[in-house]
């Protein structure tokens, strides 16, 4: 049951979010990415056919619950999936700087020079837990300077200057002193800022932020999101934001991809996803999120059941056992195709014509 | 449900007064106390029977320590915790010993944050839920099995899964098991320590609904600890906002969200991302970092980060003041400031 | 994770699977089974302990019977066929003195065939320590005085290495077992006290462990061995050696126990049990001990090799078991002399089981450690 993939380059039109500078061709185009984990218990299809584009200046959000494959997608883009996981098919096309053509990251040899140049160079990465991604035995300055040396050709004397500059740019107070501190000496918010500075050292054109604020308090989260937004405005870089927080998606993203058990259930411009969701899962997910405007002590419209273990993905549409609009005889038989349901909006659901193979 | 806070002393199930919890820092070979971490500093609140009070705040604000002190999972440094027993008797549990606490245990129960580490992976669900029954004198096996089945149904788990081990359940289901265990002894007070923050979004709503239903049916009183303000809005009658170990503001839920009186509450509310792409909060971004609980800033502990701070705030510690509507706030300028609530701070993008 | 969830709540249509009702030990066993090396190690260990049980049965000549004229005979391979007919036998050796080096060299003599049979008669012993018998697994037919076999050759005193190896295996592996048991008891007791009570008791025990661990082992052994009276019987020496090696071996186990205790004290489910009103004894017995039993078993398995090595090196250095007792270390004493090894390399054969069993225990322990926490 191989799906023909006909996802073309999506035209990014103006959304209700307002005009945004999205100059030209996408920085990154992911096409039918499949990353599977080959375990003793069976094969987990962590990412199973994901396609999207990220354009300069655009923020694409990937959202979903545990086991939906959002993080594995980001790891796949950087080719840092650990065994027993491996990319089994698909293309990860990176448009190189200055008309340098297009590189398929998925096809590059592992540990190759080219791959290492891309990581931290053209693609920067920010993780959820800065404590575990920063070295505890080096100062943040030395890690930042290392990144600057690797990806720029600055003279040694200028490197420290540049590092202090970057720390200031990400809002770390007294950067001249903080440059010599260790990660453990900084608060969670400052560590995440340092991590962002390191990710920005190579002046990436794409920043992948994997749950960048999940470990932070809400006021710190607001600061970090603000910082990401202002950096993006200045540099025009593209951002891929992976999160489980619907509020963060609404606030940050231009384009949203909703995943469930390794499959994209719906993708489209943020305004359409929030105001005219087409997939029953999107609809239910958005309704079940508590918000600060709701009447206290009222029941939430909850989604039934829980996310199945990724190893035991239901047959057919993976969402069908929990779906309020389950159609017996259809939904459990085959997987729906991602199909056009609105301008730039796609959903994989049999409610819409074109989802089956006919 | 929108009634104002009544005088805490009469019908309150739990009445906490001036609670303090310090953790000493030892140094040197003699293990001399060199400083104290003031985790909880002068915390007072009361919860009427059948109501929910939420403690909110950021990590390190002392909300979890407060809840654990109320459970008497740790010894308290000072203050009183008056608890009205099911017999009608009011006991100050702050000074009780481990043995003295034992008969009260059944009336105060807890639901933990982590649905994985809170269930013993080596026991079946029947044994986990049945343990409180067993150690509290329900000796007949069949009686326990019947009660466990009833509890499981009540929290929405099929009773035939009783003989399974926790690893067979998803996070949300495990949290239901934890709730069933807490309910086993018919408690009157439940301490809920971030009970939904480890769950998936779609499951969070289920568990919140379950907690609301149980409160209705069983007239439970909740002390709810959380950092997620959206969740707090849903579940609480009253909200207490904590900062650096003390309560800075306490009010009825709607009042607090719509018209905060403390600048920290305002900042906290404005930081919550709004799940609506057409709106964005007018952010009150806080400066700097939370102060140290070992050496809190002089004056108002929040003043170094406060946009409204004046000279007085830097030197004089504000007292918790009671306003006319029965709200409590710890700010020198509470009466003169006009702060924005969740309704007024949203701007279209 | 082997976990699978019950798909939906409430409708009871969950997919039944044995994983769902599997207990901790079942999950551990399933996980352990997947560890190929660990399974191989387990079989090897089981095999060795079978040798321990049936040592006398597997030996075929008295391990202490020495014949000076048969010193340093090379191993005699078993020939299964004689002119195409199944008739297992070994070839007798004839010794000649090399005219140049004046050393005795032995060569198989195709004329001297010593036929073999199963369940042959040999020296008398008690089977499993109970039943007196003189049957052995194999042996020369008829057991005539001049018909001798030496499957692994003989040592300098002309004793049969195969038979001595069987008996030595019994000694070395039971010392390991006894030593581990003793250090396990000490480790659980002291580690448990240390972890449960904390405070100054914990401090005292931890500092003692550090002192014990900082003493260089060889001089300590030498001191203790020197303190052992020369006229002690084999049994007394055996017990003394067990005590000496377990006195050093308990520290690691105590640390494991203490660490698990400290970690478990913080677990939410332990606190939940306390809030449910469980007594301290119940919390330890029902919640804490089962949670680290598997870790203890893994730690014990990994402690075995150290015990065996300790005994072997003590005896090799002449500080441990002494002749007439036979252990791997005693056997390897024969191989202390480089010249002897050069001429009679079969003297090194007893080193093979030492290496094999230590690898086997390590593989098994690794597998157990991985399987010990089936919940990740």
Q: What is the pLDDT of residues A211-252, one digit of tens each?
A: 888 888 888 888 888 888 988 998 889 999 999 999 999 999
Q: Please report whether residue C17 resides in a domain.
A: no
The pLDDT of residue A23: 57
Which has more confidence, A336 or A13?
A336
Instruction: Give the domain-ending residue among C125, C159, C193.
Output: C159
* Count of domains forming chain B: 1
CATH number at residue C317: 1.10.3720.10
Q: Please report whether residue C181 resides in a domain.
A: yes
The pLDDT of residue C318: 79
Residues C152 and C279 in one domain: no
Whether residue A1 is predicted with pLDDT greater than 60 in this model: the reply is no
DSSP B93: G
Q: Please report whether residue B1 resides in a domain.
A: no
pLDDT tens sequence across A25-68:
889 999 999 999 998 778 889 999 999 999 999 999 999 988 88
Q: What percent of chain A has pLDDT over 90?
A: 31
Q: Please report whether residue C18 resides in a domain.
A: no
Q: How many CA atoms lie within 13 A of B69 on its CB side?
A: 33
Evaluated on CA atoms A334, A340, A346, A352, the torsion sign reads negative
Q: Please report whether residue B2 resides in a domain.
A: no
| ipTM here | 0.85
Of B135, B164, B168, the CB nearest to C278: B135
Contact A305 C5 (CB under 8 A): no
B21: its two tokens: 């919890």
Reduced to 3 states (helix: H, G, I; strand: E, B; else coil), residue B178 is helix
The torsion of the CA quartet A11, A12, A14, A17, rounded to 10 degrees, works out to 150
Domain of C92?
66-159
Q: Please report whether residue B18 resides in a domain.
A: yes
Q: Nearest-CA neighbor of B110 among B88, B86, B125, B132?
A: B132
Of A304, A311, A322, the CB nearest to C4: A311
Residues C354 and C255 in one domain: yes
Chain A residues closer than 8 Å to B257 by CB: 292
pLDDT bracket for residue C146 (50, 70, 90)? low
CATH number at residue B283: 3.40.50.300
CA distance B286 to chain A (A): 7
Residue B131 neighbours by CB under 8 Å, 6+ apart: B123, B181, C273, C276, C278
The pLDDT of residue C20: 64
Contact C147, C168 (CB under 8 A): no
Residues C334 and C203 in one domain: yes
Q: What share of chain A is helix, strand, coil (3-state, %, to 5)?
A: 30, 25, 45
Instruction: Give the domain-ending residue among C159, C187, C222.
Output: C159
Residues C96 and C198 in one domain: no
Residues C107 and C228 in one domain: no
Whether residue A161 is predicted with pLDDT greater than 60 in this model: the reply is yes
The pLDDT of residue C374: 56
Of A41, A311, A321, the CB nearest to C8: A321
The pLDDT of residue C11: 35
Q: Please report whether residue C24 resides in a domain.
A: no
Q: Which of A128-132, A309-313, B37-41, C193-197 has the lowest mean pLDDT?
A: A128-132
Would you tell me how many other CB atoms lie within 10 Å of the CB of residue B282?
Answer: 10
Q: Please report whether residue C368 resides in a domain.
A: yes
Q: Please report whether residue C264 resides in a domain.
A: yes
Q: Please report whether residue C231 resides in a domain.
A: yes
CA distance B72 to chain C (A): 9
Read off the pLDDT of each residue in C242-255 and give the average, rounded to a whole number: 82
What is the CA A47 to chain-centroid distance, rounded? 13
Q: Nearest-CA neighbor of C277 among B142, B95, B72?
A: B72
CA distance C181 to chain A (A): 35
Element (H, E) at C139: strand C131-140
pLDDT tens sequence across A261-276:
999 999 999 999 999 9
Which residue of chain B is at minimal alpha-carbon distance from C203? B29
Contact B200 A66 (CB under 8 A): yes
pLDDT tens sequence across C73-132:
778 777 788 777 887 888 777 777 777 777 777 777 777 777 777 787 777 888 777 788
Contact B270 A306 (CB under 8 A): no
Q: How many CB pairs under 8 A join B and C?
A: 100
pLDDT bracket for residue C317 (50, 70, 90)? confident
Instruction: Kindly list the distances between the CA atom of residue A282 and the CA atoms of A65, A259, A260, A286, in Å, as whole numbers in the listed order.
Output: 11, 9, 10, 6
The pLDDT of residue B207: 92
Which residue of chain A is at minimal alpha-carbon distance from C34? A40
pLDDT in tens, chain B (349 residues): 334 444 445 678 999 999 999 998 887 766 778 888 889 989 999 999 999 999 999 888 899 999 999 999 888 999 999 999 998 889 999 989 888 888 888 899 999 988 888 999 888 999 999 999 998 888 888 999 999 999 999 999 988 888 888 888 888 899 999 999 999 999 999 999 999 988 888 889 999 999 999 999 999 999 999 989 999 999 999 999 999 999 999 999 999 999 999 999 999 998 888 888 888 777 777 877 788 888 888 889 999 989 898 999 999 999 988 888 889 999 999 888 888 888 777 777 6
Whether residue A19 is predicted with pLDDT greater than 50 in this model: the reply is no
Contact A312 C3 (CB under 8 A): no
Query: pTM of this prediction?
Result: 0.80
Alpha helix (H) residue ranges in C130-232: 161-197, 199-214, 217-227
Residues C80 and C217 in one domain: no
Residues C195 and C135 in one domain: no
The pLDDT of residue B148: 94
Residues 2-41 of chain C whose Cβ lies under 8 A from any Cβ of chain A = 2-5, 7-9, 15, 34
Domain of B305?
8-348
- CA B320-B326-B327 angle, to 5 degrees, is 50
Q: Please report whether residue C199 resides in a domain.
A: yes
* Count of domains forming chain C: 2
The pLDDT of residue C21: 67
Chain A residues closer than 8 Å to C8 by CB: 304-305, 321-322
Whether residue C376 is predicted with pLDDT greater than 50 in this model: the reply is no
Instruction: Give the domain-ending residue among C159, C193, C227.
Output: C159
CA distance A229 to chain C (A): 38
């Amino acid at each position: 049951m191989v799906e023909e993939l006909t996802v073309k380059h999506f035209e990014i039109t103006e959304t209700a979010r307002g005009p945004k500078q999205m100059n030209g061709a996408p920085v990154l185009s992911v096409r039918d990415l499949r990353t599977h984990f080959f375990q003793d218990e069976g094969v987990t299809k962590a990412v199973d056919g994901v396609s999207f584009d990220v354009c300069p200046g655009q923020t694409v959000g990937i959202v979903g619950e545990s086991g939906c494959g959002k993080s594995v997608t980001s790891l796949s883009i950087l080719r840092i999936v650990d065994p027993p996981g491996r990319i089994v098919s698909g293309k990860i096309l990176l448009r190189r700087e200055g008309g340098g053509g297009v590189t398929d990251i998925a096809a590059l040899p592992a540990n190759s020079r080219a791959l290492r140049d891309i990581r931290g160079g053209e693609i920067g990465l920010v993780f959820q837990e800065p404590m575990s991604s920063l070295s505890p035995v080096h100062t943040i300055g030395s890690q930042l300077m290392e990144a600057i040396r690797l990806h720029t050709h600055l003279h040694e004397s200028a490197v420290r200057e540049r590092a202090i500059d970057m720390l200031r740019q990400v809002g770390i107070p007294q950067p001249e002193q903080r440059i010599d501190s260790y990660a453990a000496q900084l608060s969670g918010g400052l560590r995440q800022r340092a991590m962002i500075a390191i990710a920005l050292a190579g002046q990436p054109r794409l920043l992948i932020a994997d749950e960048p604020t999940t470990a932070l308090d809400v006021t710190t989260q607001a600061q970090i999101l603000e910082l990401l937004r202002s950096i993006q405005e200045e540099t025009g870089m593209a951002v891929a934001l992976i999160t489980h927080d619907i509020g963060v998606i609404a606030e940050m993203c231009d384009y949203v991809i909703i995943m469930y058990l390794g499959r994209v259930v719906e993708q489209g411009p943020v305004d359409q996803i929030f105001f005219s969701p087409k997939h029953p899962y999107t609809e239910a997910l958005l309704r079940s999120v508590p918000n600060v405007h709701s009447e206290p002590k009222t029941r939430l419209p909850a989604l039934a059941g829980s996310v199945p273990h990724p190893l035991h993905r239901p047959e057919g549409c993976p969402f069908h056992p929990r779906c309020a609009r389950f159609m017996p005889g259809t939904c459990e038989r085959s997987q729906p195709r991602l199909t056009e349901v609105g301008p730039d909006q796609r959903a994989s659901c049999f409610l819409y014509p074109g989802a089956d193979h006919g | 449900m929108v009634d104002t806070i009544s005088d805490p002393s009469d019908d309150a199930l739990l009445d906490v007064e001036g609670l303090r919890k310090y953790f000493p820092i030892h140094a040197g070979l003699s293990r001399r106390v060199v400083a104290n971490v003031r985790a909880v500093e002068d915390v007072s609140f009361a919860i009427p029977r059948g109501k929910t009070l939420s403690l909110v705040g950021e990590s390190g604000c002392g909300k979890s320590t407060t809840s654990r002190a109320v459970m008497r999972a740790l010894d308290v440094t000072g203050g009183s915790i008056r608890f009205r027993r099911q017999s009608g008797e009011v006991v100050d549990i702050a000074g009780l010993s481990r043995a003295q606490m034992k008969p009260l245990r059944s009336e105060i129960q807890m639901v933990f944050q982590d649905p994985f580490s809170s269930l013993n992976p080596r026991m079946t669900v029947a044994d986990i839920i049945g343990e409180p029954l067993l150690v509290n004198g329900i000796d007949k096996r069949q009686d326990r099995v019947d009660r466990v089945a009833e509890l499981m149904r009540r929290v929405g788990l099929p009773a035939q899964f009783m003989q399974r081990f926790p690893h067979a359940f998803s996070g949300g289901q495990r949290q239901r098991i934890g709730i069933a265990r807490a309910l086993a002894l018919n408690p009157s007070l439940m301490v809920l320590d971030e009970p939904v923050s480890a769950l998936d979004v779609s499951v969070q709503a289920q568990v919140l609904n379950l907690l609301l239903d149980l409160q209705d049916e069983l007239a439970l009183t909740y002390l709810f600890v959380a950092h997620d303000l959206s969740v707090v809005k849903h579940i609480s009658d009253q909200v207490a906002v904590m900062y650096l170990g003390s309560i800075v503001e306490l009010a009825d839920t709607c009042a607090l969200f719509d018209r905060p009186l403390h600048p920290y509450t305002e900042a906290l509310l404005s930081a919550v991302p709004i799940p609506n792409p057409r709106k964005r909060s007018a952010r009150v971004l806080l400066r700097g970092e939370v102060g140290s609980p070992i050496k809190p800033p002089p004056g108002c502990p929040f003043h170094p980060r406060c946009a409204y701070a004046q000279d007085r705030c830097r030197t004089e510690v504000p007292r918790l003041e009671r306003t006319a509507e029965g709200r409590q706030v710890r700010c020198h300028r509470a009466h003169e400031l006009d702060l924005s609530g969740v309704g007024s701070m949203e701007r279209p993008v | 994770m082997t976990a699978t969830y019950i798909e939906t709540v409430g409708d009871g249509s969950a997919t039944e699977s044995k994983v769902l009702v599997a207990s901790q030990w079942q999950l551990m066993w399933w996980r352990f089974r997947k560890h190929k090396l660990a399974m191989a190690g387990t079989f090897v260990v089981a095999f060795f302990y079978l040798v321990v049980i049936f040592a006398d049965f597997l030996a075929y000549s008295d391990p202490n019977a020495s014949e000076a004229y048969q010193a340093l005979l090379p191993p005699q391979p078993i020939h299964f066929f004689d002119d195409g007919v199944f008739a297992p036998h070994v070839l007798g050796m004839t010794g000649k003195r090399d005219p140049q080096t004046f050393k005795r060299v032995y060569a198989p003599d195709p004329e001297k065939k010593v036929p073999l049979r199963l369940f042959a008669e040999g020296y008398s012993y008690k089977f499993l320590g109970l039943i007196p018998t003189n049957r052995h697994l194999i042996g020369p037919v008829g057991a005539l005085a001049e018909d001798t076999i030496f499957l692994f050759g003989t040592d300098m005193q002309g004793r049969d290495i195969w038979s001595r190896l069987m008996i030595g295996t019994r000694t070395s592996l039971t010392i390991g077992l006894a030593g581990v048991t003793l250090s396990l008891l000490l480790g659980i007791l002291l580690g448990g006290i240390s972890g449960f009570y904390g405070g100054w008791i914990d401090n005292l025990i931890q500092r003692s462990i550090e002192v014990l661990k900082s003493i260089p082992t060889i001089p300590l052994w030498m001191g203790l061995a020197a303190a052992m009276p020369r006229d002690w019987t084999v049994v007394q020496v055996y017990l003394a050696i067990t005590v000496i090696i377990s006195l050093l071996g308990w520290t690691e186990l105590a640390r494991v126990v203490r660490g698990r205790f400290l970690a478990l004290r913080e677990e939410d489910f332990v606190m939940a049990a306390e809030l449910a009103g469980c007594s301290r004894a119940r919390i330890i017995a029902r919640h804490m001990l089962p949670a680290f039993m598997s870790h203890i078993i893994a730690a014990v398995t990994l402690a075995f090799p150290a015990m065996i090595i300790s005994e072997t090196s003590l005896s090799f250095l002449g500080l441990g078991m002494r002749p007439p007792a036979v252990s791997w270390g005693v056997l390897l004493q024969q191989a202390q002399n480089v010249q002897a090894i050069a001429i009679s390399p079969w003297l090194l054969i007893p080193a093979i089981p030492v290496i094999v069993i230590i690898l086997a225990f390590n593989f098994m322990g690794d597998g157990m450690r991985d399987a010990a926490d089936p919940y990740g």
